[in-house]
Amino acid sequence: MAGLTVDKNGLKRITFNDGDGKRRSIRIGRPSKKVAETFRLRIAELNAAKIAGIPIDSEMARWLGALPDKPYKRIAAVGLVEERERRDLTLGALLDTFFDRLTVKRGTETTYRQTEKALLDQFSRERRLALIKSGDAAEWKRSMRDGGLADATVAKRVKTARMIFANAVRWKLIDENPFSGIKAGVQANADRQRFVDRESVARVMDAAPNAEWRLLIALSRFGGLRVPSEAFALTWADVDFERNRIRIRSIKTDGHGKSTRFIPLFPELRRHVMEMFDAAEPGEEFVLPSVRKLSNPNTQLRRIVERAGLTPWPRIWHNMRATRQTELAAEYPLHTVCSWMGNTSAVAAGHYLQVTDADFERAVAEIQNGDKSGDRMATKAAMHPAAPKCKDAKQSMQVSGNKGSMRFDASRRDLSQKREMTPRGFEPLSSP
Write the DSSP string, 178-210: TTTT--------GGG-----HHHHHHHHHHSSS
- Any idea of the CA torsion for 155, 157, 162, 164, to the nearest 10 degrees? 160
Q: Tell me what pLDDT residue 254 has.
A: 61
Instruction: List the domain boundaries for the chain.
Output: 2-77, 91-187, 192-351
Q: Tell me what pLDDT residue 87 has.
A: 52
Q: Tell me what pLDDT residue 432 has.
A: 43
Q: Tell me what pLDDT residue 424 has.
A: 45
**Residue range 192-351, CATH number:** 1.10.443.10
Contacts of 246 (CB under 8 A, 6+ apart): 223, 234, 238, 239, 240, 262, 263, 264, 265, 269, 273
pLDDT in tens, 352-410: 888 777 777 777 776 667 655 445 545 544 555 554 444 444 444 344 344 443 343 44
**Can you list the residues of the chain whose pLDDT is less than 50?**
88, 373-374, 377, 380-381, 387-432
What is the architecture, at CATH level 2, of domain 91-187?
Answer: Orthogonal Bundle (1.10)
CA distances 316 to 156, 300, 322, 337, Å, are: 20, 11, 10, 21
Q: Tell me what pLDDT residue 423 has.
A: 45
Distance CA 330, CA 21 (A): 78
pTM, 2 dp: 0.53
| Pair 314, 354: CB distance under 8 Å | no
Q: Tell me what pLDDT residue 17 has.
A: 92
pLDDT in tens, 224-278: 999 999 999 999 999 999 999 999 998 766 655 568 999 999 999 999 999 999 9
| Pair 329, 353: CB distance under 8 Å | yes
